[in-house]
Amino acid sequence: MEKFRGYGIDGNGKEGTAAIVLSGGYEDDYDLGEEIVSTGAGGNNRSTGKQVADQTWSNPGNAGLRISHDRGLPVRVIRGASHKSKYSPESGYTYAGLFSVVDCWEETGKSGFKICRFKLVYCGGNPNRKTAEQLELNYHNDFTKRKSGELLELDYDTREKKRAKGTVLRIVRDTKFANDIKVLYNYQCQVCDTAIPTRSGLYAEGAHIRPLGAPHDDDDNLNNLLCLCPNHHVMFDKGSFAVSEEFTLLGNVSGTLKVHGKHLINKKNLKYHMDTHGYS
Amino acid sequence: MEKFRGYGIDGNGKEGTAAIVLSGGYEDDYDLGEEIVSTGAGGNNRSTGKQVADQTWSNPGNAGLRISHDRGLPVRVIRGASHKSKYSPESGYTYAGLFSVVDCWEETGKSGFKICRFKLVYCGGNPNRKTAEQLELNYHNDFTKRKSGELLELDYDTREKKRAKGTVLRIVRDTKFANDIKVLYNYQCQVCDTAIPTRSGLYAEGAHIRPLGAPHDDDDNLNNLLCLCPNHHVMFDKGSFAVSEEFTLLGNVSGTLKVHGKHLINKKNLKYHMDTHGYS
């Protein structure tokens, strides 16, 4: 009945959790395929599965997932047959893909003890997965496959209600090298020196000078990244300021960008950013 | 050949663009169903369609989309038959749904003139849409439907390459009332007074005190929102600080929250936030 077992990259909770195995499940947990809410580890009796003590953030599994949340590191999710969801295998284990830890918090469980909770959102890595939409589409279109209509209707309604309302204002992506740039600058913004304190350390964002993906299409590498606080990241992405090839700050910010001796910024990309925001 | 026509909510570009109609298309534009990159309006000869002058950000269509980008307001997208994509209707127009403007920038087009460009990502509102994945899945699974295998394989590869790498670190959602709270505070952070300057005005974020969506499940309304700068939004969401029922700032920030006389904050939700981050 242990809810999940966290395997740190290096065997501890200091660098985020590499993978979790879902098995069993608490009453308030749910698994919508692309979105999972799950309860942390610890505090339960191994033989009865009952919660008999508080869960803690110092538990390596919980600490690791909280670090994954703060750093934006993906977690590999594996579903076991005993995990209560329609995405679980009939026996053994299946790989569910990479998930982002988009929220973590604590609350008092039905047992009266403190539990640590996590919300995970699918972010890729499993080409064979079926989305809830695909499953539901099949069930609605093909009555021969519809084994339990009422339950599925209920699931569908539940899913609609559970989905957060509103449209996306900003998506901040985290990448392999984004983490490296943050460590190089010890999470201090290259514009204002701010390092955002969190419960598990410091927070900064890796800002791509020339954006990833279409149509800008640059690679993720150190020479295309800046370490910025969220305020200066928003301003940089929106072109409120730019950085000249001599590292002078232009626009709504004055002064000079702080640049570490090991950080060889691609000046063509600074020029590209200036060009796309009208600074040339 | 006019690329799109922007219809402001009030007929001008000051409150974002309510809807765009896609027709024709530039060489570098693409439409992957869920992700569209499109070129702005203006500067082209109406009869030949050729670019004969720079596009400008003062064009109401371009200004409106840039405001939609800064404010996170959704844009309704309509595809015309002349729009070059496999999602376009054979004749007339189809509704594609609500899209977020996730990026806007300027560049020099093949004509040598400046063009304004936008990246749009599907965010809901069209239950009948087919995703690229669904189209491809159908084509791969059902050979009778596979009219042009080579082209589809090419599309698939293109799509994979065009997708931004990395995992999601933060998703900031914008909602109906998030906009109201920003206006009430004139985009000034209730913690530090900062208002982030952008090219088209000011930027702030509406922070939900008790999060929207499962499993927290609060509604989007003014009494559950704070107007915060991105730095304090990150810190609030991560529990680096909390707000007591007397509006005292707790944790990594000191002082008192600024509260407008018309802003009746739900104190139960402040308590909920404190509880979920261990402040009680």
Q: Judge: B233–A233 Cβ closer than 8 Å, yes or no.
A: no
The pLDDT score that the predictor gives to residue B196 is: 94
3-state secondary structure A214-263: CCCCECCCHHHEEEECHHHHHHHHCCCEEECCCCEEEECCCCECCCCCCC
| pLDDT tops 50 at residue B59 | yes
The pLDDT score that the predictor gives to residue B165 is: 52
Say which range, A193-202, B102-111, B221-230, has the weakest mean pLDDT: B102-111
| pLDDT tops 70 at residue A142 | no
Question: Which residues of chain A does B117 touch, with a Cβ-Cβ cutoff of 8 Å?
Answer: 215
ipTM confidence: 0.72
pLDDT tens digit string along A252-273?
A: 999 999 999 999 999 999 999 9
The arithmetic mean of pLDDT across residues A134-143, rounded, is 39
Rounded CA-CA distance B41/B27 in Å is 15
Using 50, 70 and 90 to split pLDDT, how confident is the model at A48?
confident
The pLDDT score that the predictor gives to residue A166 is: 60
The pLDDT score that the predictor gives to residue B254 is: 96
Q: Which residues pair with A100 in a beta bridge?
A: A121
Using 50, 70 and 90 to split pLDDT, how confident is the model at B211?
confident
Q: What is the pTM (predicted TM-score) of this model?
A: 0.73
The pLDDT score that the predictor gives to residue A6 is: 37
The pLDDT score that the predictor gives to residue B197 is: 92
Query: Which of B164, B174, B196 is nearest residue A173 as measured by Cβ atoms?
Result: B164
| pLDDT tops 70 at residue A178 | yes
The pLDDT score that the predictor gives to residue A147 is: 32
The arithmetic mean of pLDDT across residues A88-112, rounded, is 84
Q: In chain B, what percentage of residues exceed pLDDT 70? A: 78
Query: Which of A172, A173, A211 is nearest residue B103 as measured by Cβ atoms?
Result: A211
**Phi/psi of residue B49, nearest 5 degrees:** 80, -5
Closest-CA distance of chain A to residue B91, Å: 27
The arithmetic mean of pLDDT across residues A191-195, rounded, is 97
Mean pLDDT of chain B: 78
Phi-psi region of B173 (alpha: psi -120 to 50; beta: other; left: phi over 0): beta
Q: Judge: A238–B199 Cβ closer than 8 Å, yes or no.
A: yes
The pLDDT score that the predictor gives to residue B70 is: 75
pLDDT tens digit string along A201-230?
A: 789 999 999 987 666 767 788 999 999 999
The pLDDT score that the predictor gives to residue A193 is: 97
Using 50, 70 and 90 to split pLDDT, how confident is the model at B192?
very high
Q: Judge: A162–B231 Cβ closer than 8 Å, yes or no.
A: no
| pLDDT tops 50 at residue B138 | no
